[in-house]
Amino acid sequence: MLVLLEEPVTSPAKIEAEAGADAELKKQQNATHEFVDELALPIQVDEMDLLNSWFDKFDEKICIPNEGHIKYEISSDGLIVLILDKSIEHIVQEVKSFVEQNVPEDDEQED
């Protein structure tokens, strides 16, 4: 799980990038993202059901209470990118604690 902090840019900066031979693509940058940590989950690619079960708990305990200040994406290979608003930077420690305390279990006996 990659954990990033997002902070809005007060005066959007123009970024120029080449998009082909001579064409230029101009984009407005409206936020910056700061890498905070990479947290390892003991879940393999072929254990997506286990990841889904674990993430349901994570969603309930971390994401839903911070709705509107937290975004995430789970890729098809199980990579989770978690983006927190800079205003809730203190939640990073809660995320780390949750990951440490909620090791997924294969037996799926928990309800």
CATH topology of domain 2-101: Ubiquitin-like (UB roll) (3.10.20)
| Distance set, CA 35 to CA 13, 25, 69, 106 (Å) | 20, 25, 16, 31
Is 27 a residue whose pLDDT tops 80?
Answer: no
Q: Is the pLDDT of residue 99 over 80?
A: yes
Mean pLDDT of 41-57: 83
Does residue 59 have a pLDDT over 90? yes
Contact 39, 96 (CB under 8 A): yes
pLDDT at residue 60 above 90? yes
Lowest-confidence segment of 20-29, 35-44, 83-92 by average pLDDT: 20-29
Question: How confident is the model at residue 11, as a pLDDT?
Answer: 60
List the domain boundaries for the chain: 2-101
